[in-house]
Amino acid sequence: MTVTLGSGDHRYRVVENWPKLPEGWNLTDVAAVAVDSKDRIYAFNRGAHPMVVFDRGGNVLRTWGEGVFNRAHGLHIDADDNLYCTDDGDHTVRKCSPDGKVLLTIGIPDKPSPYMSGEPFHRCTHTALSPKGEIYVSDGYGNACVHKFTPDGKLMKTWGEPGSDPGQFNIVHNIVTDADGWVYVADRENHRVQVFDGNGKYETQWNNLHRPCALCACGGAKNPTFIVGELGPGMPVNLNVPNLGPRLTIVDAKGQRIARLGGETGAGLEVGKFLAPHGVALDSKGDIYVGEVGVTNWKVSFPDIPMPPIVRCLQKLERVT
């Protein structure tokens, strides 16, 4: 039975068992995904092979990053197919070539800045690039700010502090930019996405989101849209409340909802459900790839159910035309 999510012009067929892994392999917590100019899909995960590269059919092309990364968290790809890999386990951002050569490292491996100091980095989470190639880093779990770096990794400025007012953050979890240079930040535990200009000036915020975790800018420069991966409930008191996710929500450039995919009946391993959408990317056909941290999130979503030996961590949603 084919399961289709979404509505109107935003309908997607769930491709069951899309990743075709070699025997004995298993993905563990695909924290982020990216798609390059040749429609190769990069799954940045917390398993034995940190970067697994697939073709559109789900076949493994290669792996890399073994012995380099501590804990995968964020992944961004630039116009030259270089990948910015954010490792919140060793507090660094590494710019890598498509075959895994490290071209630039920002941060000192295994040396976090003081907790909530505002200095880079303490469990940084994600990156984005300005139209000029400047690097924005969301930071993160042990900080509450965004840093802006030159393309070669020199710190330009920092903004943000803990709190819930405009320009403040409560787990700054993800970050994207658009063609005009606006900066969009997933302020996860404040249940919003905040929008800034390229220098960190607060402009507006998008509400009516539940623990926004993943962010993906798409739709092109003239008509930008965004896919927001929302986590489900994180507290026992609302764990079984319906219609809170986990889910994907598609919004326009003003944050108005266009479509919503899943999330009506909570987390699950069933086809059409999500566990913990943590990373989202699109290919040239408009198909969506969703990385999930289901292993990490299992005890949150299912505190009384033993975790199965294999937890789905990567899904493909094929656009219905």
3-state helix, strand, coil in the chain (%, to 5): 5, 45, 55
Mean residue pLDDT across the chain: 96
Asked if the peptide bond before residue 151 counts as cis, ω within 30 degrees of 0, the response is no
Residue-wise pLDDT for 56-81, tens only, equals: 999 999 999 999 999 999 999 999 99
Average pLDDT on 247-253 reads 97
Distance, in Å, from the CA atom of 161 to the CA atom of 291, rounded to the nearest integer, reads 28
Average pLDDT on 201-212 reads 97
- What's the pLDDT at 219? 78
Residue-wise pLDDT for 131-184, tens only, equals: 999 999 999 999 999 999 999 999 999 999 999 999 999 999 999 999 999 999
Closest CA to 12 of 260, 213, 281, 313: 260
What backbone phi and psi angles, to 5 degrees, belong to 238?
A: -120, 20
Both tokens of residue 161?
């502090």
pTM for the full predicted model: 0.97
Per the structure, how many domains does the chain have?
A: 1
Q: How confident is the model at residue 294 (pLDDT cuts 50, 70, 90)?
A: very high
- What's the pLDDT at 170? 98
What CATH number did the domain enclosing 199 receive? 2.120.10.30
Element (H, E) at 167: none
Strand partners, 316: 15, 289
Give the three-state DSSP class for 236. Answer: helix
pLDDT at 313 over 80: yes
- What's the pLDDT at 166? 98
pLDDT at 221 over 90: no
Strand partners, 282: 288
- What's the pLDDT at 265? 92
Both tokens of residue 11?
């309908």
Distance, in Å, from the CA atom of 146 to the CA atom of 129, rounded to the nearest integer, reads 12
Q: How confident is the model at residue 223 (pLDDT cuts 50, 70, 90)?
A: confident
Domain hosting 196: range is 4-319
Q: How confident is the model at residue 15 (pLDDT cuts 50, 70, 90)?
A: very high
- What's the pLDDT at 241? 94
- What's the pLDDT at 222? 80
Q: What would the 3-class secondary structure string for 82-134 be?
A: CEEEEECCCCEEEEECCCCCEEEEECCCCCCCCCCCCCCCCCEEEEEECCCCC
Q: How confident is the model at residue 193 (pLDDT cuts 50, 70, 90)?
A: very high
Cβ-contact 159, 177 below 8 angstroms: no
Q: How confident is the model at residue 17 (pLDDT cuts 50, 70, 90)?
A: very high
Average pLDDT on 193-218 reads 97
- What's the pLDDT at 18? 96
pLDDT at 119 over 90: yes
Distance, in Å, from the CA atom of 82 to the CA atom of 235, rounded to the nearest integer, reads 38
**% of the chain surpassing 90 pLDDT:** 95
